[in-house]
Amino acid sequence: MSSPAPSPPKAYIDTMVFIYHFKQHALTPKADNFFKDIEKGKYAGVTTSFTITEYIAVMRKALAEARNGPSTSTDVIKLRKQIEEFISNMGIVYFDADPLTSGVYGKFFSSVENVVENAKHFKNRRTNKWFVVNGADALHVVMAVRAGADFYATFDDDFRGVDSWIKPLMLFEVY
């Protein structure tokens, strides 16, 4: 009996990567190329229910601004169905954020604090701005590590300084 094929290196997918793939944007081609690599089997995508939460929150705001009116519960269902179908079809490893952040596997927020306190600063030479992860970013870093991810795929410069915990995959440079 043949054993199942080993999964490729795991890349935790940051929320904006999904958003740029689904909503037309100057970065959409780069997000597409990353997802094409997942489709080809170069990476195994990893995500959590918290990423879906952030995605829905951003798109509800975008819809409200575009309509100058509130989003509806039907919008939420549509948004959720669409991203979950994508995750399923792409073979992306999906973690429920509840067990992933559970104290059963060690103190979660202490790890988040540690990332915030020890992450490196990064200066963008072009814009002269300084970057470093904030608390919400650090939540994702710890979840990514707990999920066993090898890379953190993002378009956000703030994540450059987390390489002590996980290797950042800066998609605007790689693609």
User: Taking CB under 8 A as the criterion, which residues in 115-154 touch other proteins?
Assistant: 115, 118, 134, 136-137, 142, 145-148
Q: Give the DSSP H/E element, type plus range, for residue 94.
A: strand 93-95
Q: How far apart are CA 146 and CA 99, in angstroms?
A: 10
Contact pick of 121, 123, 164, 172 for other proteins (by CB under 8 A) = 164
- CB 123 to other proteins: min, Å: 16
Amino acid at 174: V
Closest to other proteins by CB, 124 or 164? 164
- CB 125 to other proteins: min, Å: 19
Closest to other proteins by CB, 80 or 122? 80
Burial tier of 8 (Cβ tally within 10 Å: 0-12, 13-18, 19+): middle
Q: Is 165 in the site for other proteins (CB under 8 A)?
A: yes
Q: Tokens representing 14?
A: 């940051």
User: Which contacts of 166-171 are long-range, i.e. CB under 8 A and separated by 24 or more positions?
Assistant: 166/12, 166/141, 169/11, 171/17, 171/27, 171/30, 171/31, 171/34
Contact pick of 11, 12, 13, 87 for other proteins (by CB under 8 A) = 87
Give the chain's radius of gyration (CA, Å): 17
Q: Which of residues 14-73 bind other proteins (CB under 8 A)?
A: 15-16, 19, 21-26, 28, 32, 35-36, 38-39, 41, 44, 49, 54, 57-59, 61-63, 65-67
Q: Is 9 in the site for other proteins (CB under 8 A)?
A: no
Q: Is 13 in the site for other proteins (CB under 8 A)?
A: no
Closest to other proteins by CB, 58 or 170? 58
- CB 14 to other proteins: min, Å: 10
Q: How far apart are CA 159 and CA 134, in angstroms?
A: 9
